[in-house]
Amino acid sequence: MNFKKSISLFCLSGLCAVALTAKEPDARTVKAIERNMKVMKNPEKNLKKMATSKLYLTSNFIREVAKLEKAAKALVRIKHPAKEFNELSDELVEYLGKLNAAIKKKDIKDAAKNWGYVKDICADCHGAYKD
């Protein structure tokens, strides 16, 4: 297991422990999160397919990243009672911005690296906050 995965697993276990003791979000917050997850589903699925073929610099990839980034920014505006949810949302927006910057510089290697971070953040959040 590499260092990054070890750190991710450690953080995920910490998130799980905190999630068990965190206050439950109200119904309005849950609806807002569910709405954003629906918006993010197709772009994320399309990005996975294109990333598999290393199509980071195509207009389709750029368009799907923009959709995902817009939905992620909407997640940041949701004030979830769990601090970790809010931190993961902020981190997602940060790395989507880095992904966009790498694409604009036409740096495939950096785009691939940042796409990996985006996927990890999504997995960490979904691991801590089951659908």
Res. 20 pLDDT band, cuts 50 70 90:
very low
pLDDT tens readout for residues 109-126: 999 999 999 999 999 998
C-alpha 119/C-alpha 32 separation (Å) is 21
pLDDT tens readout for residues 36-94: 889 899 999 999 999 999 999 999 999 999 999 999 999 999 988 999 999 999 999 99
- 85 and 23 in contact (C-beta within 8 Å)? no
Q: Which has more pLDDT, 125 or 1?
A: 125
pLDDT tens readout for residues 96-105: 999 999 999 9
> What residue ranges do the domains of the chain occupy?
41-131
First-last CA distance in the chain: 27
Distances (CA, A) of 82 to 17, 66, 76, 107, 128: 12, 26, 12, 35, 11
Handedness of CA 30, 38, 97, 12 (dihedral sign): positive
- 83 and 65 in contact (C-beta within 8 Å)? no
Q: Which residue has the tokens 């397919």?
A: 49
Residue 28: its pLDDT value, please?
A: 87
